[in-house]
Amino acid sequence: MSTDAVLYDHPGPRAKIRNGILTVVFGIALLALLYWVYLKFDEKGQWAAALWEPFTESSTWTDYLLPGLWKTVSAAAVAMVLSLIFGLVFSVGRLSDHRWLSVPSGMVVEFFRAVPLLLLMFFIFYGVPFITESPMPPFWAVVAGLTLYNGSVLAEAFRAGIKSVPRGQSEAGYAIGLRKSQVMQEILMPQAARAMLPVIVSQLVVLVKDTALGYIIGYAELLQSVNNLAANFGNIVAAAIVAAIIYIAVNASLTAFAGWLERRTRRKGKAPKSADPVPVGAVEPIGD
């Protein structure tokens, strides 16, 4: 029996008609809402050509948008790498058989998952200088906050993925003489990463968007650049729409890359096709 048939009851003729009607109704309602928003903006003159003209000038992109985008992407890229490392290390730590390692790892993960990301950035930027007696660069304050928060979330995702691997996989590894570290590295982690890839990608997309919180501590990322642009040209709605399109493009590229990576790893994980069995009597006897 197909798993889909168990988990999902395929709609009959009436349900298909009802779903089609609901789709059309909600589609019309959505279009009506978008048109109403368009009219409200039009009444305030937000679609005037003069407000959008700055985006046709190269200086707008070279002075505002591209530098802000570069700082957003650079902070997100460094935080992604560090978050993945943080998540892997602390997920393995939480699964350790030694309580002196699993308990502190769990406390660290739960603490940074509970603290708001904005508060983390504030504390790192304003609090760490009291300890180090030197100013904290905004870039590293943003990266550290993103790493601690998103790394803790990814640690739970990795832990859930490792625990979802059938127990027989690890038992088979132990049966052939592998140590626990080898079982974790060679058997459990690759399967867990592949199984949790959608969750990991979703969290990385959230990480990219959370870089916008950096403007609170003076990090001149994309949102801060858009605010400066809007202050100079008075086109806050147009600037926000352009910034939203840029964020969507970056996150869509990340999602597309993750989809390509998933397909590639899935192809690599497939077992090679076995050779066709030789029919009985097809092999000539050797000698008389």
Residue 72 vs residue 269, higher pLDDT: 72
Q: What is the token pair recorded at 268? A: 């690599």
Q: pLDDT digits over 159-195, tens only? A: 888 888 888 878 788 888 888 778 887 888 777 777 7
Please give the Cα distance from 25 to 89 (Å, whole number): 49
Q: Which SS3 state, helix, strand or coil, does residue 195 take?
A: helix
At residue 173, the pLDDT reads 82
Domain layout of the chain by residue ranges: 48-266
Q: What is the token pair recorded at 225? A: 């650049």
Q: pLDDT digits over 108-158, tens only? A: 999 999 999 999 999 999 998 988 888 899 999 999 999 999 999 999 988
At residue 276, the pLDDT reads 52
CATH number of 48-266: 1.10.3720.10
Q: pLDDT digits over 8-30, tens only? A: 567 788 888 888 999 999 999 99
CA 138 to chain centre: 23
CA angle, 206 as apex, 87 and 223 as ends, to 5°? 130
What pTM value is reported for the model? 0.78
Residue with tokens 């076995």: 274
Q: Which SS3 state, helix, strand or coil, does residue 148 take?
A: helix
Q: What size, in residues, is the chain?
A: 288
Mean pLDDT along residues 266-287: 52
DSSP label at residue 179? -
For the cut 50, the answer to whether the pLDDT of residue 38 exceeds it is yes
Please give the Cα distance from 208 to 87 (Å, whole number): 17
Q: pLDDT digits over 186-200, tens only? A: 888 777 777 788 888
